[in-house]
A and B are shown apart, each in its own frame.
Chain A
Amino acid sequence: MAVKLEIPTALRQFAGKQATVEFNAATVGDALKQLTGTYADLRRHLYTDDGRIRSFVNIYLNDEDIRYLQKEQTPTKDGDTISIVPSIAGGARI
């Protein structure tokens, strides 16, 4: 299944400056494993030391949060988009 991964601005520096990457993956977790396999520096930004997705990084399959689907086991189909959405805090210094 060819799926597209959207890399947010804040993490592009760890992903070869790419905005999107495509992989053949059967599940969301599979796609993320391939992503962090290709770009090792991304790993610590996406996963905790014990291998869980960090709580300030949300993963969406199309427009749905995978926490409300089958998490990393969520199956993907051709043409799906996986988005990595980390929290950003930019605004006024207060």
Chain B
Amino acid sequence: MPIITGTPAVPETERTLSKQEIQRYSRHLIMPEVGMEGQLKLAKAKVLMIGAGGLGAPLGLYLAAAGVGRLGVVDFDVVDYTNLQRQITFSTNDVGRPKIQAAKERLAGVNPQIRIDTYETRLTSSNALDLFREYDIVVDGTDNFPTRYLVNDACVLLNKPNVYGSIFRFEGQTTVFHYPGGPCYRCLYPEPPPPGLVPSCAEGGVLGVLPGIVGSLQAMETIKLILGIGEPLAGRLLLFDALGMRFRELRLRRNPSCPVCGDHPTIHELIDYEEFCGIRGEEFVPVSTGIPEITPTELKARLDRGDDLFILDVREPHEFQICHLNGHLIPLGDLPKRVSELDSSREIVAHCRSGKRSADAVKFLQQAGFRKIWNLKGGILAWSDEVDPSVPEY
């Protein structure tokens, strides 16, 4: 009997596989480690995916294909061109559409016999517990620290395993947190880095295949947890280095004094994770107060007037090759030792891609005694939006 999306056709206890399902899952069924029993476990399983991005792409496709009976997807983002390099659930035609809508269509196309629930929302302390409660396993594929800690704490409070994956440039980390008796994310990292100290994926970049590999590892661990076979990646942090093509494994231990999963926990409910990560509000106002700013429109007007402005580009040389504003290139990291190239008597406008690194540059130069210095608000991206659309956005 086919299963109708959204409503289990038969009560769970009586769930059997239809002829069509037996054919679909035959490569699972002929393995004794899965078999009919395992496939029925998959059919009854409920997995919540946090994020439908790079990690969520292979994860969702494999879990849907494997016949996980109910898949939840949380995401509020819209597909854009920069996603297509790695988020293989989406096609070029999906650009501009909500990710969950495009993902649902794609996953339902892979397997129309499973239930897919989408939540177009930002995961917050006020909705996380209600969302998680309905699922057996949570798979974390987000890109920011507040959500990482939120997912962790909610999983510990509700006693659900958290299949964790994280990526940066050529490097990935994967583990299963809060497997019975095992460590949680806070045992590994009690506190997040202060904002600005660790570059984000948007700044640091990521090789497209990397989330494919790490997301696939997460899918594998999720399926093993459901089937109850093999050794789960709990208490072990798997590090993947794509350039060296090496996997390494580090031991993870539950910290008895962990504030959320320790012997005497002090956290009993979800907290304000933006505040915990020290970025309250800052995420949406990337340029900190007190930094003198100039908008792209203002800059254009001054350049057109013939004002003598020195454009300082603090991005990396490979970014300069993508596009530039004819500025003088000194990467932010080189600024301290190349500051002598700058003339403090001239007016300087510093810019980067989005305005964040150049704000740091302005701060640094102010401390070094520069007074006539401005940060280009929104960086070269805003310049492209407001002044010159022929400048590519990246």
Contacts and interface: CB of A to CB of B under 8 A. Distances in A.
Interface of A: 8-10, 13-14, 19, 41, 44-45, 54-56, 58, 60, 63-65, 68, 83, 85-94
A66 to B, nearest CB: 11
A39 B122 CA distance: 40
Contacts of A8: 171
Nearest to B252: A65
Interface in B148-204: 148, 165-171, 173, 188-193, 197-202, 204
Given A90-B166, A94-B77, 11 more contacts: A45-B197, A58-B189, A65-B251, A65-B253, A83-B250, A87-B148, A91-B142, A91-B167, A91-B201, A94-B51, A94-B143
B355 interface: no
19 contacts: A8-B171, A9-B170, A10-B168, A19-B243, A19-B244, A56-B198, A64-B251, A85-B237, A86-B198, A87-B188, A87-B198, A88-B168, A89-B198, A89-B201, A91-B165, A92-B53, A92-B56, A94-B74, A94-B143
Nearest to B332: A13
B253 A55 contact: no
B88 to A, nearest CB: 13
Contact of B77 (A19, A41, A45, A93): A93
Given A10-B198, A64-B251, A94 B192 contact: no
A92 B333 CA distance: 27
B141 interface: yes
B211 interface: yes
Contacts of A65: 250-253
Contacts of A45: 197
Contact of A55 (B148, B169, B189, B249): B189
Given A13-B333, A63-B250, A94 B147 contact: yes
A91 B192 contact: no
A14 B197 CA distance: 12
Interface string B127-145: 0000000000000111111
Given A55-B190, A90-B206, A85 B168 contact: no
The 5 A-B pairs with the shortest beta carbon distances in the complex, nearest first, are A92-B53, A92-B51, A90-B201, A90-B167, A88-B168
Nearest to B185: A87
Contacts of A54: 193
Given A94-B51, A94-B75, A85 B250 contact: yes
B25 interface: no
A93 B53 contact: yes
Contact of A91 (B53, B122, B244): B53
Given A56-B189, A87-B189, A88-B167, A93 B143 contact: yes
A68 B171 CA distance: 25
Interface residues of B, number: 56
A87 B192 contact: yes
Contacts of B189: 55-56, 58, 87
Contact of B191 (A56, A64, A91): A56
B251 A92 contact: no
A48 B318 CA distance: 32
A63 B143 contact: no
Contact of B141 (A86, A87, A92): A92
Contacts of A88: 166-168, 171, 173, 198
A89 B150 CA distance: 13
B387 interface: no
B193 A91 contact: no
A16 to B, nearest CB: 11
A56 B192 contact: yes
B194 to A, nearest CB: 9
B388 to A, nearest CB: 26
B342 interface: no
B364 interface: no
Contacts of A89: 142-145, 148, 166, 198, 200-201
B143 A10 contact: no
Contacts of B237: 85
Nearest to A11: B198
Nearest to A55: B191
Contacts of B192: 56, 87
A82 B250 CA distance: 11
A82 to B, nearest CB: 12
A87 B251 contact: no
A60 to B, nearest CB: 5
